[in-house]
Amino acid sequence: MSLCPRKRTFASVITMSALCKSGLMQCSKIAGRLKSLELRDKVMRKEVQEALESAIAGFKERQQAKHERLRERERFEADWARIRTAVVLPALEEIAVVLRKAGWQCEVRAGDKDPGIHFTVYREVKAGVSGGERPYMSYQLEKQKDTVLVNAATKGSAGPVGSFTLDKITEDFVQTEATKFFARAASEAG
C-alpha cells in the first residue's frame, strides 16, 4: 500500500514534491513500514483472539440490551397512551360531571406534548377575592421506573399518592383516588 497518489494531478505532484523535498514525507519508507505491519500469514495468539472475541460479544450483548430497553420503553409509553385515553381521562371526566352538578369547577387536562394528566377541583372564586393555589391531582410518567406517579395537592397538603404500574391504573383505581382527593380538598375549602 503506497501513500503516494496513483492519479497524479498537477496539484498533487507539486504537493508531493514539496513534501518529499522538505523531508516531511518519504513515500518509500512509509510504504515499506506499512507492508511490514500486514498480517498475511501471521497467527494471533489464542488468548488474545479469545479476549478480542469476548470483547466483541460483550459489545453486541450490551447493544442488544440497549435496544431491548428502548423497545420496552416504547411499549410502556404506548401502553400508557392507550390507558390515559381509554381509562384515566374518561374516569376523571365522570367524576368531574358529578362535581360540576354539585357546583364545583373541574378541569381535566391532558397535554399534547406532556403525557401526563392534570385534574383540578375548586369552588367558584368571587370577584375581588384571590383564589390562590387550586387543589389538583396529577398523573405523570416515571419512565425510568416504568410506573405512573400520582400526586395530589390541596390547601393543607401536597405530595405523592404513590407510584403505580400500569396494570394498577384501572377506572376503579382512578375514581377511588379522585374521590379521596376531592374529600380532602372539600374539607379544606372555605
Residue 83 forms part of a structural domain: yes
Residue 125 forms part of a structural domain: yes
pLDDT band, very low/low/confident/very high, at 6 (cuts 50, 70, 90)? low
Q: Total structural domains in the chain?
A: 1
* Crossing angle for the helix pair 89-101 and 171-188, to the nearest 10 degrees: 40
Residue 131 forms part of a structural domain: yes
**What are 36-65's pLDDT values in tens digits?**
555 556 788 889 989 999 999 999 999 999
The pLDDT, as a whole number, for residue 189 is 75
Residue 103 forms part of a structural domain: yes
Residue 4 forms part of a structural domain: no
Alpha helices per DSSP H over the chain: 10-22, 27-36, 46-83, 89-101, 171-188
Backbone angles phi, psi at 142, to 5 degrees: -115, 85
The pLDDT, as a whole number, for residue 32 is 57
Expressed in percent and rounded to 5, the helix, strand and coil fractions of the chain are 55, 20, 30
Give residue 153's domain range. Answer: 71-188
Q: What is the mean pLDDT of residues 145-153?
A: 91
Residue 39 forms part of a structural domain: no
Q: How far apart are CA 46 and CA 182, in angstroms?
A: 70
Residue 19: is its pLDDT beyond 60? no
pLDDT band, very low/low/confident/very high, at 79 (cuts 50, 70, 90)? very high
Residue 18 forms part of a structural domain: no
Residue 14 forms part of a structural domain: no
